[in-house]
Structure formats: C-alpha cells, structure tokens
Amino acid sequence: MNILFVSMVPFESNTSATIQNKGIVKGLAELGHVIDTMTLELTNDAVSYDETMNDLSNIVRNSYYIELNPQYAKFMAKKPTNKSEQNGNLDSSNQRLSPYNGVKRKII
C-alpha cells in the first residue's frame, strides 16, 4: 500500500514526537508499505534542528516539505547566543522592533 505520512514535526527535529513518528514509519515499511512523508520545513536555526535525526532516507520514497510562515519560523528559532545578536533590530531610541507585529519594546 502507498502511504503518505503527514506530520507537523519534521524528521530533522530532535523531539519525542520525531522518535515516535520514525518508529511508525519504520514499522509500516517493515510491513511492506511504500512510504512518502510530508512535514513542515525545518530551518537550520530552529531550536530542535538535528540533521542526524533524519535517518529514514533509505526507507522513505519521497519527502515533501511545507514552507513555513516567516512568523512561525522566527518563533521556532534559537535564542541569540551573544550580545551583538541580542542587540540586533534596534531603532534610534534603543528599542527592539518585534518580529511578530512591528510593535516596539524596550530593552532592559
């Protein structure tokens, strides 16, 4: 049987949901089913990004990725690691521009 496995969690994401989904896909493949996957696209700067998690290339026939909304991608991105990254997107009054709705917020 041809199966399209759809998940909000990409296989490159290091989460418990990924581990569960991998088990389901591997089990279906062992039963002789042909598997295609469709997941959200994961960017390299996502908090849970781990390329080593996606070890299904020899099992999955085709992988399809749904493009992320830019706001969702920003929400899932890693936090800044240094002071220069933290001070990005400042205006002349030392206020940070919110990536979500353009609202200014004061840096403390």
Residue 93 is predicted with a pLDDT of 53
Cβ neighbors of 93 (< 8 A, separation 6 or more) are 104
Measure the CA–CA gap between 42 and 31, rounded to whole angstroms. Answer: 29
Contacts of 67 (CB under 8 A, 6+ apart): 41
Q: What is the DSSP letter of 68?
A: P
pLDDT at 82: 54
Q: What does the alpha-carbon distance between residue 65 and residue 47 come to, in Å, rounded to a whole number?
A: 18
Whole-prediction pTM value?
Answer: 0.61
| CA nearest to 60, candidates 5, 18, 1 | 5
pLDDT, mean of each 10-residue run, the chain (108 residues): 91 84 94 92 72 81 83 64 51 51 48
